[in-house]
């Protein structure tokens, strides 16, 4: 490193299908560019989302605070920003700051807080913007069309997406937001997909910044691989669905699990929105859906690769820290055959990929099993930019955690999905255990080493009373340390 303040490139995927898919046997989603980045830096193997939902997790990625502090609990929340977000602090330190892609972190957009680039309020839909139209015109593209294979729906789906139905071979994302709950195939050029559109915008900016030798922070937040799962055929052809092994908790009957596990869309749920057990789909059907979902992950990975290649071609790599992560995970096919996610705190929804490349500061091909979370991203960015903290943050810089084995646990939070439920929960993650206290429902305790698919809830096992009490006390202390205002929801006044 020659510059004490490196350029910063942050790449954030949305709703990443990740945990245990292909880890034990069978196919896994192909991510050659993430893998290449990992070979050049560090992979944090125990990285967790602070919340299993987009908006609260994304807000925490901006401010470094717990959801109970920033209060942007649900995807529909628009709680005002009361303190600077990290890229405003970077700008004060001399960085040019750019944000491209999905916002969904509260009121306004990235432009409202001073960042340049391409950002839309709320969830947003890039396909209806003038920038996307100009991009398609420049490349001679028609815009994205999709052939719809499967739709998952609830009472609001038809209102939001009236043309979303199975068999529609010329579907376009024309709504105010592009979160269609569907599987299908993009039948147009892959470059018509939002991921390549965002990569193109970022690459253009990188060329300008390199020419002007500007010190920069550039963040790209992809809308994918969040549904709709609409890859092109070339990525689908990379996978033989018959080679996708049955997921380890697909047969879960949800015994001793809280009710929030059952809140799903039709057709896998009944008319009351309760997940049907066993799954209405055969494993062969789920293999096809996973084939499409895997393909989408690989397509987004290639768009990420386009950006990384440009960084290298422009000679920026040696003085640029790259952070690649996701806001949260994806519960697809897990725990009895789910779609999307929920407010439950399973490993599938809260485990995230996290890779950091920092030439001269991080050894290549490093693996770190220290417990880390969303809350450690902002302190890392401020650390490398040498920006003093203006307020106390609960997280730590990943650079210090890389060599710190003392972190024994993490505190994670959920306030429910908002539109389905507002049940709160708190989760303690340790090296071995996951312990969750659910508002008005059963506690959950899993031995992640012996039971990585979280099939057996030990909270109801009489032989685990001592362990349960110990973890409950640890959770209480974590909530007290975090100044959690909802602590009495989970612990009575009489508890120590």
443-457: average pLDDT: 98
The tens digit of pLDDT for each residue in 39-93 reads 999 999 999 999 999 999 999 999 999 999 999 999 999 999 998 999 999 999 9
What pLDDT, on a 0 to 100 scale, did the predictor assign at position 3? 52
Query: Which token pair is 285?
Result: 């059907």
Dihedrals φ, ψ of 226, to 5°?
-50, 145
Dihedrals φ, ψ of 302, to 5°?
-65, -40
417-437: average pLDDT: 94
Confidence of residue 404 (pLDDT cuts 50, 70, 90): confident
Q: Does the pLDDT of residue 422 top 50, yes or no? A: yes
State the DSSP code for 111. G
What pLDDT, on a 0 to 100 scale, did the predictor assign at position 388? 86
The tens digit of pLDDT for each residue in 159-192 reads 999 999 999 999 999 999 999 999 999 999 999 9
Residue burial 138-164, b: 16+ Cβ < 10 Å; e: rest = eeebebbbbbbbbbbbbeebeeebeeb
Q: Does the pLDDT of residue 495 top 80, yes or no? A: no
What pLDDT, on a 0 to 100 scale, did the predictor assign at position 147? 98
Check: CB of residue 388 under 8 Å from CB of residue 65. Answer: no
Query: Which token pair is 22?
Result: 């292909």
**CA end-to-end span of the chain:** 49
The tens digit of pLDDT for each residue in 302-350 reads 999 999 999 999 999 999 999 999 999 999 999 999 999 989 999 999 9
376-394: average pLDDT: 92
6-23: average pLDDT: 98
The rounded distance, in Å, linking the Cα atoms of 368 and 38 is: 11
Check: CB of residue 302 under 8 Å from CB of residue 33. Answer: yes
The tens digit of pLDDT for each residue in 139-168 reads 999 999 999 999 999 989 999 999 999 999
434-450: average pLDDT: 97
Look up the pTM and report it: 0.97
Confidence of residue 135 (pLDDT cuts 50, 70, 90): very high
Q: What percent of the chain has pLDDT over 90?
A: 94
Residue spans of the domains in the chain: they are 7-125+191-406, 424-496
Query: Which token pair is 200?
Result: 């193109």
What pLDDT, on a 0 to 100 scale, did the predictor assign at position 405? 67
402-426: average pLDDT: 91
3-state secondary structure of 2: coil
The rounded distance, in Å, linking the Cα atoms of 230 and 33 is: 20
Please name which of 201, 188, 161, 162 lies closest in space to residue 177, comparing C-alpha atoms. Answer: 161
Check: CB of residue 370 under 8 Å from CB of residue 356. Answer: no
The tens digit of pLDDT for each residue in 234-293 reads 999 999 999 999 999 999 999 999 999 999 999 999 999 999 999 999 999 999 999 999
What pLDDT, on a 0 to 100 scale, did the predictor assign at position 406? 78
DSSP 120-165: -SSS--GGGSHHHHHHHHHHT-----EEEEEE-B-TTHHHH-TT--
Q: What percent of the chain has pLDDT over 70?
A: 98
Q: Could you tell me how many helices (H) and strands (E) the chain has, helices first?
A: 14, 16
The rounded distance, in Å, linking the Cα atoms of 449 and 416 is: 27
| 216: number of Cβ within 10 Å | 23
Q: What is the 3-state secondary structure (H, E, C) of 112-132?
A: HHCCEEEECCCCCCHHHCHHH
Q: Does the pLDDT of residue 425 top 60, yes or no? A: yes
Check: CB of residue 357 under 8 Å from CB of residue 43. Answer: no
Distances (CA, A) of 207 to 3, 204, 222: 19, 5, 20
Radius of gyration of the chain (CA): 22
Dihedrals φ, ψ of 454, to 5°?
55, 55
The rounded distance, in Å, linking the Cα atoms of 92 and 232 is: 42
Q: Which fold has domain 424-496?
A: Arylsulfatase, C-terminal domain (3.30.1120)
Confidence of residue 1 (pLDDT cuts 50, 70, 90): very low
User: What number does CATH give the domain 7-125+191-406?
Assistant: 3.40.720.10
């Amino acid at each position: 490193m020659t510059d004490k303040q490196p350029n910063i490139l942050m790449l954030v995927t949305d709703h990443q299908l990740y945990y245990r898919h292909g880890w034990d046997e069978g196919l896994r989603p192909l991510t050659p560019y993430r893998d290449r980045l990992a070979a050049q830096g560090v992979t944090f193997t125990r990285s967790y989302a602070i919340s299993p939902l987009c908006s609260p997790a994304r807000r925490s990625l901006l401010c470094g605070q717990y959801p109970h502090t920033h209060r942007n609990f649900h995807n529909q929340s628009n709680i005002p920003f009361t303190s600077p977000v990290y890229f405003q602090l970077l700008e004060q330190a001399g960085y040019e700051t750019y944000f491209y892609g999905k916002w969904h972190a509260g009121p306004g957009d990235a432009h409202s807080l001073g960042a340049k680039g391409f950002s839309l309020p709320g969830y947003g839909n890039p396909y209806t913007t003038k920038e996307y139209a100009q991009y398609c015109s420049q490349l001679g593209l028609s815009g994205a069309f999709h052939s719809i294979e499967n739709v998952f729906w609830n009472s609001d789906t038809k209102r939001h997406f009236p043309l979303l139905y199975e068999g529609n071979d010329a579907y376009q994302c024309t709504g105010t937001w592009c979160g269609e709950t569907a599987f299908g195939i993009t039948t147009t050029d892959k470059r018509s997909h939002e991921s390549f559109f965002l990569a193109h915008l970022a690459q253009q900016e990188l060329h300008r910044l390199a020419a002007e030798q500007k010190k920069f922070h550039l963040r790209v937040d992809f809308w994918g691989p969040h549904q709709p799962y609409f890859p092109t055929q070339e990525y689908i052809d990379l996978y033989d669905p018959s080679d996708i092994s049955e997921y380890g908790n697909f047969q879960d009957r949800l015994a001793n699990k809280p009710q929030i596990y059952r809140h799903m869309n039709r057709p896998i749920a009944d008319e009351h929105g309760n997940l049907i057990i066993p799954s209405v789909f055969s494993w062969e059907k789920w293999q096809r859906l996973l084939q499409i979902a895997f393909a989408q992950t690989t397509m987004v990975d290639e768009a990420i690769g386009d950006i990384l290649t440009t960084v290298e071609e422009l000679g920026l790599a040696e003085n640029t820290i790259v952070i690649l992560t996701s806001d949260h995970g994806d519960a697809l096919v897990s725990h009895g055959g789910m779609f999307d996610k929920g407010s439950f705190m399973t490993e599938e929804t809260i485990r995230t990929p996290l890779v950091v490349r920092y030439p001269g500061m991080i050894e290549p091909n490093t693996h770190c099993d220290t417990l880390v979370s969303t809350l450690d991203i902002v302190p890392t960015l401020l650390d490398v930019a040498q920006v003093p903290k203006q307020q106390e943050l609960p997280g730590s810089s990943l650079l210090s955690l890389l060599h710190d084995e003392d972190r024994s646990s993490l505190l994670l939070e959920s306030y429910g999905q908002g539109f389905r439920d507002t049940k709160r929960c708190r989760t303690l993650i340790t090296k071995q255990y996951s312990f969750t206290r659910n508002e008005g429902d059963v506690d959950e305790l899993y031995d992640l080493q012996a039971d990585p698919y979280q099939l057996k809830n030990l909270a109801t096992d009489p032989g685990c009373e001592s362990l349960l009490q110990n973890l409950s006390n640890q959770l209480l202390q974590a909530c007290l340390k975090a100044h959690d205002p909802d602590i009495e929801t989970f612990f009575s006044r009489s508890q120590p």
